[in-house]
Amino acid sequence: MRAVGGLSREGAERLPALLGALDRLADQGRPTPCMTDPAPFVSDDQAERRMAAYSCTACPVVSECAAFADANAEPAQVWGGRDRTQRPYQRKASA
């Protein structure tokens, strides 16, 4: 469940680690693929998102990114090397 502001409690707990890692890389002049060109990570095109997810494999913060996305149950876009966008044919498991 998401809290006000779009973050779950768990996501809010993981966010500082992700932002800190991104800041350290930026200070070193080493931007991540999603910071260099964010468009494919949020694209409506599945092939573009697939390539964006592949570009995460060499990213030094991929584990922090994935942990944040998992904790916040991100429903779309590329996070932590995975396209989390649900396709129309995907169904959530029923209770």
Q: pLDDT tens for residues 7-20?
A: 899 999 999 999 99
- Kindly state whether residue 45 falls inside one of the protein's structural domains: yes
Tokens 């809290």 map to which residue?
3
Residue 4: its pLDDT value, please?
44
Domain containing 60 equals: 9-83
Q: Is residue 27 part of a domain?
A: yes
Residue 64 in domain: yes
Q: What is the pLDDT of residue 88?
A: 67
Q: Is 55 inside any structural domain?
A: yes
Our count of domains for the chain comes to 1
Indicate whether 95 belongs to any domain.
no
The pLDDT score that the predictor gives to residue 50 is 96
User: Other C-beta atoms within 10 Å of 30: how many?
Assistant: 11
Q: Convert the pLDDT of each residue in 36-86 to its tens digit.
A: 999 999 999 999 999 999 999 999 999 999 999 999 999 999 999 999 998
Decide if 2 is inside a domain: no
- Report yes or no on 14 lying in a domain: yes
pLDDT surpassing 70 at residue 1: no
